[in-house]
Amino acid sequence: MAYLENLKTFIRVYELGNMSAAARDQRISAAVASARIASLEEHLNVRLFQRTTRMLNPTEQGTLFYRGACKILEAMENAEADVSNVTHSPRGTLHIAAPLGLGQRLIAGAIPAFHALYPLITIRLRLSDRKLDLAAEGLNAMFFLGVPEDSSLRIRKIADCDRVLCAAPEYIARKGMPASSADLASGAHDCLNLRYAGAPEFQWPLRTPEGVKRITVSGPFESDHGDVLTQWALQGHGIVLKPIFEVHEYLQRGQLVRVLESEQPVPIQMACLYAHRRRQDPKARLLIDFMTDHIKASLPRQAE
């Protein structure tokens, strides 16, 4: 199995372009990762990477070996999956990711129930509101809201998720209830926005009497953490656009109130993204099927 571990480390070093990052991903030391690469190079009698003080670039032989190593690892995963199917005991580790709000409210709580059904499957969950690269992060699946930019990956749609504009009663008492989306576009109201690296201009897609329009909004506060926006809204600092499942409890208790109900946001797609080479992995399909059923049963709707 040592050779397979060397292959796994080589693949992650190649994909991440950094020995230390690959070592952290594999949960080994940088020294062990370096030794595994050196062992492969000695076995193959070639250099797999050109190393400088700042850069780590694959050689021509390294690029060729990466393609073959991926095929070997995929074949091993498929073979292990076949054995798991026969024994009815799927095993292994799944790396999954989700935005903070979705992960905390709809996925994290269901993982123990999934593990109870499949105790030999280990789950590593990463939560982040930043955009993640499925391959670079070594993920089996990534739950998300919206439309992914990478069309080369496979998408499993889960549901169209209702969204709502809302604010704290004290904010409405201070600033007034907006009468139309024009009030938001004019800058008369403080809008709380999710900001991450590479984020486009803030635009909220609303159903107006003239049809769906993308309303450009602004405000004094931005964050790359969705729950921070919710807390600011609860403290009366502005209006926030949120999936209903993230603010449902606050709406029910009156801590937040719906804003501009005549021009509500369009729903957003909730889906799961996974790579083609993982499509035959039974344990990944088991998790995606389980989470899809759980999320569909848990989502609150506009009328609730």
Q: What is the CATH number of domain 89-159+272-298?
A: 3.40.190.10
Q: What value does the mean pLDDT take over residues 76-88?
A: 64
Handedness of CA 278, 25, 107, 119 (dihedral sign): positive
Q: Helix 60-87 to helix 30-44 angle, to the nearest 10 degrees?
A: 110
Q: What value does the mean pLDDT take over residues 268-289?
A: 77
pLDDT at 81: 67
pLDDT at 303: 46
C-beta of residue 260 within 8 angstroms of C-beta of residue 180: yes
Tell me the C-alpha to C-alpha distance, in Å, between residue 240 and each of 74, 183, 217. 44, 14, 11
Residue 108 phi, psi dihedral angles, 5° rounding: -55, -45
Listed in sequence order, the residues at least 6 apart from 190 whose beta carbon sits closer than 8 Å to its beta carbon are: 171, 175, 219, 220, 221, 237, 238, 239
Question: For the chain, which residues make up each domain, given as ranges?
Answer: 2-85, 89-159+272-298, 163-266
Q: Which of 51-55, 251-255, 268-272 has the lowest mean pLDDT?
A: 51-55
CB atoms within 10 A of CB 17: 15
Tens of pLDDT, residues 209-254: 888 989 889 888 888 888 899 999 999 999 999 999 999 999 999 9
- Looking at domain 2-85, does it have CATH number 1.10.10.10? yes
Is residue 83's pLDDT more than 80?
A: no
Q: Which of 54-63, 66-75, 268-277 has the lowest mean pLDDT?
A: 268-277
pLDDT at 86: 46
Handedness of CA 290, 291, 293, 298 (dihedral sign): positive
Buried (b) or exposed (e) across 188-198, using 16+ Cβ within 10 A?
A: ebbbbbbeeee
For residue 156, list its beta bridge partners.
Answer: 272
Domains 2-85 and 163-266 share a fold: no
Q: Can you tell me the distance from the alpha carbon of 296 to that of 304, in angstroms, rounded to the nearest whole number?
A: 15
Tens of pLDDT, residues 175-184: 999 999 999 9
pLDDT at 279: 46
pLDDT at 53: 66
Q: What percent of the chain has pLDDT over 70?
A: 89
Q: Provide the Cα torsion 14, 18, 22, 24; round to 10°.
A: -170
Is residue 24's pLDDT more than 80?
A: yes
Q: Can you tell me the distance from the alpha carbon of 234 to that of 247, in angstroms, rounded to the nearest whole number?
A: 10
Is residue 304's pLDDT more than 60?
A: no
For residue 219, what are its two tokens? 């405000």
Q: What value does the mean pLDDT take over residues 126-142?
A: 82
Q: What percent of the chain has pLDDT over 90?
A: 42
What is the overall mean pLDDT for the chain?
A: 86
Q: Quick check: pTM over 0.85?
A: no
Q: Can you tell me the distance from the alpha carbon of 100 to that of 226, in angstroms, rounded to the nearest whole number?
A: 7
Q: What value does the mean pLDDT take over residues 253-264?
A: 94
Is residue 199's pLDDT more than 70?
A: no
pLDDT at 290: 94
- Angle value at C-alpha 236, between 232 and 242, nearest 5 degrees: 55
Question: What is the separation, in whole angstroms, between the first and last Cα of the chain?
Answer: 54
DSSP conformation class of 108: G
Is residue 278's pLDDT more than 90?
A: no
The domain made up of 163-266 has a fold known as D-Maltodextrin-Binding Protein; domain 2 (3.40.190)
